[in-house]
Copies of this chain bind each other. A is one copy, B any other.
Amino acid sequence: MSIRIGILGYGNLGRGVEKAVMANADQELTAVFTRRDPAGVKTVSGCPVLSIEELPGKKDEIDVLILCGGSATDLPEQTPEYASMFNVVDSFDTHARIPEHFDAVDKAAKRGLRIGVISCGWDPGMFSLSRIYAHSVLPNGRDYTFWGRGVSQGHSDAIRRIDGVVDARQYTVPVEEALEQVRSGKNPELTVRQKHTRECYVVAQEGADLARIEKEIKEMPNYFADYDTTVQFISAQEMKEKHSELPHGGSVIYSGQTGERKHVIEYSLKLDSNPEFTGSVIAAVARAAYRMNAEGQTGARTMFDIAPKYLSPETDEWLRAHYL
């Protein structure tokens, strides 16, 4: 019997999850739920689109509900709310608020006898796993995370909010020299500026003051001021042709020691589509959430709490024979 999946929120991530569920032989899509008018939403898979108001009535038709909203305002409300009715998985990534989010989801999920897995994807997610495994094995060590080359949607949005900007795409780029230093096991101290540069492609309104836009981008606190940032103005046509994909990736490099001897562990991702890969991680976690709840487990979880076998569609015997 298939694991029945519901998706709440149908943006880039929602579509990425949908594609992943379609690729998983043991999962099927019950419906996509949206706050918009369902009549205006068409799914890739052809599955039904329903209003978010119908969710509570679908308790018996959904094994795991995947929450594809944003971390700023959607997930802090939605994940606890629905964790009391469904097994849920989210990709909450506001680092500083993870402890309180975990607690809220834990209470709701325990009340509803469900499992709620938060902060799934690749960072937080696969990169977090890479960090915990490395640190557990080599306590005497240090981790470095590099992101990119890839599109940061948060930084792209920040540029789009500037007056006179029609569209923007921001690429985060790791500094090759810093990467090499870390890979060599030198454990360098690196500033924010030494680790990444930021490349911005901007479509401006006709007649806009380009110098002012460039200055506003480069001086934007937190987002750009601490980085070497380049800004290039391009046409809407060029934006569409060259920058319509959402590639991303990066590396977690852990450099540790046993006495005098050094060991370098690197986990790296090169992703043609950030939302599709993130959606694929989330779909695998949904399988784990379903199984853990079927065993009687309840409450909040992160990927740290999930034994790898729960993520896999294969049997324990097959995994030992083929992947060990």
Contact = CB atoms under 8 A, between A and B. Distances in A.
A323 B99 contact: no
Nearest to A93: B324
Interface string A287-324: 10000000000000011111111011110110111011
A312 B136 CA distance: 5
B284 A302 contact: no
Contact of A258 (B19, B259, B321): B19
Contacts of A307: 304-307
B258 A264 contact: no
Interface residues of A, number: 68
Interface of A is mostly: helix
Interface of A: 16, 19-20, 23-25, 95, 98-99, 102, 119, 124, 126, 128-133, 135-140, 183, 185, 258-259, 261-273, 276-277, 279-281, 284, 287, 302-309, 311-314, 316-317, 319-321, 323-324
Contacts of A269: 263-266
B309 A305 contact: yes
Contact of A266 (B137, B268, B287): B268
A133 B311 contact: yes
